[in-house]
């Protein structure tokens, strides 16, 4: 049976998602957006490249949520970006309204799907998605850690002049300035990255590592500052496709995702970026490991910022 992925939001990330999924023949794709013609136009364009790209996924666009029917996975990018003059609360309130309505429709039309949320503020939006759909927590997850980890690995690879493919580096915690890069276990195919930096740079290694961490934390903002309109879209889409592939193919990949915690890492009742096994049931389980004191402290700071986002959202009535 052919698998089906629904993309809710047909903006920048939605467009790249559709293209990547079709090119990989991962599943049939339907894109739903409220802007008339936008999802239909983008999907027609991608369909017309099928002959050249040699793919036969069916790709369709719609302005109606009915199109979500029979979806195995829903990837949600619906929302608005923060505009000049808009407060954090304004953004939270607008996107919460959008995610609530998207969630109602996912619940109605794709009740058995696994939902991957990308819309920001991620930690709050994934919490709201689960609350409204009432899907089990393993079927509602957020994309942030795969992207943050990829950025961290890329910057380490550039510094060490090695292929990014061989760098393993994980970023945990919430999606924002307080994210927690796990330096201790960063490695180049098993060779400790920290030691490689020390051998290369001696006493300067710490400063260089700090700069890499800072750049990882600010990476989203760096892209926004360059683009001037809009935020990153290639890398968030690639990250979500990696998650969707792990689920559809039941790969049991270990990826950093926003997963709901039931006591793991000392946290209960919140979504946080942690390593989890991704398989046919979504987040199959969280892989807990011992954090050191410094990491624990960073994780705590990150948890507090996630809590604040969620509490602000509740204060606004969601
Ligand atoms: N249902 C469906 N689509 C919607 C809805 C809705 N209720 N409300 C808004 N949209 C659509 C918009 O019409 C737009 O096409 O969501 C799309 C968002 O696309 P972009 O503004 O291009 O945003 P994008 O760059 O794709 O990022 C999407 O992901 O990383 C986060 O911060 C980012 O929250 C943002 C989201």
Note whether 75 and 8 are within 8 A (CB): yes
Q: Is 77 in the pocket of ligand 1 (CB under 6 A)?
A: yes
pLDDT of residue 169: 96
**Distance between Cα 120 and ligand 1 center (Å):** 9
pTM of the model: 0.97
Question: For 113-154, how does the pLDDT look when each residue is reduced to its tens digit (9 = 90+)?
Answer: 999 999 999 999 999 999 999 999 999 999 999 999 999 999
Q: Is 223 in the pocket of ligand 1 (CB under 6 A)?
A: no
Q: Is 176 in the pocket of ligand 1 (CB under 6 A)?
A: no
pLDDT at 84 over 90: no
Question: For 207-225, how does the pLDDT look when each residue is reduced to its tens digit (9 = 90+)?
Answer: 999 999 999 999 999 999 9
**Distance between Cα 231 and ligand 1 center (Å):** 11
175 is a catalytic site residue: yes
Mean pLDDT (the chain, rounded): 96
Residues 6+ apart with CB under 8 A from 270: 123, 127, 260, 261, 303, 306, 307, 310
pLDDT at 86 over 80: no
pLDDT at 88 over 90: no
pLDDT of residue 85: 77
**Distance between Cα 82 and ligand 1 center (Å):** 11
Q: Is 34 in the pocket of ligand 1 (CB under 6 A)?
A: yes
Give the residue-averaged pLDDT of 244-263.
98
pLDDT bin (cut points 50, 70, 90) of residue 81 is confident
């Amino acid at each position: 049976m052919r698998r089906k992925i629904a993309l809710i939001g047909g903006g920048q990330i939605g467009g790249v998602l559709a293209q990547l999924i079709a090119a990989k023949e991962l599943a049939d794709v339907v894109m739903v957006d409220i802007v008339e013609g936008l999802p239909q136009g983008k999907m027609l364009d991608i369909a017309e490249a099928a002959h050249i790209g040699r793919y036969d996924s069916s790709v369709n666009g719609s302005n109606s949520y009915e199109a979500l029917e029979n979806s195995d996975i829903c990837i949600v990018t619906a929302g608005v970006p923060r505009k000049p003059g808009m407060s954090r609360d304004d953004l939270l309130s607008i996107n919460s309204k959008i995610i609530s309505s998207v969630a109602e429709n996912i619940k109605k039309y794709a009740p058995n799907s696994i939902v991957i949320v990308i819309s920001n503020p991620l930690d709050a939006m994934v919490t709201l998605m689960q609350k409204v759909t009432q899907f089990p927590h393993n079927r509602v997850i957020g994309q942030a850690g795969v992207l943050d980890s990829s950025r961290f690995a890329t910057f380490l690879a550039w510094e060490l002049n090695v292929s990014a493919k061989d760098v393993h580096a994980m970023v945990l915690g919430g999606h924002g300035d307080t994210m927690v890069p796990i330096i201790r276990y960063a490695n180049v195919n098993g060779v400790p990255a920290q030691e490689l930096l020390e051998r290369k740079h001696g006493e300067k290694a710490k400063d260089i590592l700090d700069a890499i961490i800072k750049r990882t934390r600010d990476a989203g903002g760096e892209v926004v500052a360059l683009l001037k309109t809009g935020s990153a879209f290639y890398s968030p889409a690639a990250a979500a496709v990696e998650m969707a592939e792990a689920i559809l193919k039941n790969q049991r990949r270990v990826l950093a995702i926003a997963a709901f915690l039931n006591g793991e890492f000392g946290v209960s009742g919140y979504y946080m970026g942690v390593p989890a096994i991704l398989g046919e049931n979504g987040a199959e389980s969280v892989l807990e490991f011992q954090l050191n004191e410094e990491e624990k402290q960073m994780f705590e700071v990150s948890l507090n910022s996630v809590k604040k986002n969620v509490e602000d959202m509740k204060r606004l009535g969601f």
